[in-house]
Amino acid sequence: MSGNGEYLRCRVISTAHLSADDNALLDEITTREVEYGEWIHYVGGGYLLRLTARSAPVLRLKEAGLSKEARRLIASVMRSDAVEVLIFESGAPETEGFTTYSW
């Protein structure tokens, strides 16, 4: 293995932490061609957020209309784990201490 490898800090979290409105919003965002399309992607059973691709990603998600609970989770993960890529996946484990939804 060469010493030129690049590593990104990634975390996979359950989509149960997204409300139905959050899911609908992220689904809509992933179909747009500009503004969010380069850092929020649909990945089959959830969403991939490239948090370091934009400045102030949590503020941008607030402006887009993502719920306070989802933003709180994202900010916490970014702060505690220095996460650069966050994946919301339907089969992933839930993160203790954060709101979950069953929709």
DSSP string across 35-94: TTTTTEEE-SSEEEEEGGGSSSHHHHHHHHT--HHHHHHHHHHHHHH--SEEEEETTSPP
CA quadruple 11, 92, 65, 53: dihedral, nearest 10: 30
38-74 per-position pLDDT tens digit: 899 999 889 999 999 989 999 999 999 999 999 999 9
What 3-state DSSP class applies to 28?
A: helix
Single pTM value for the model: 0.86
97 DSSP assignment: T
7 pLDDT above the threshold of 60: yes
Greatest Cα pair distance, the chain, in angstroms, is 46
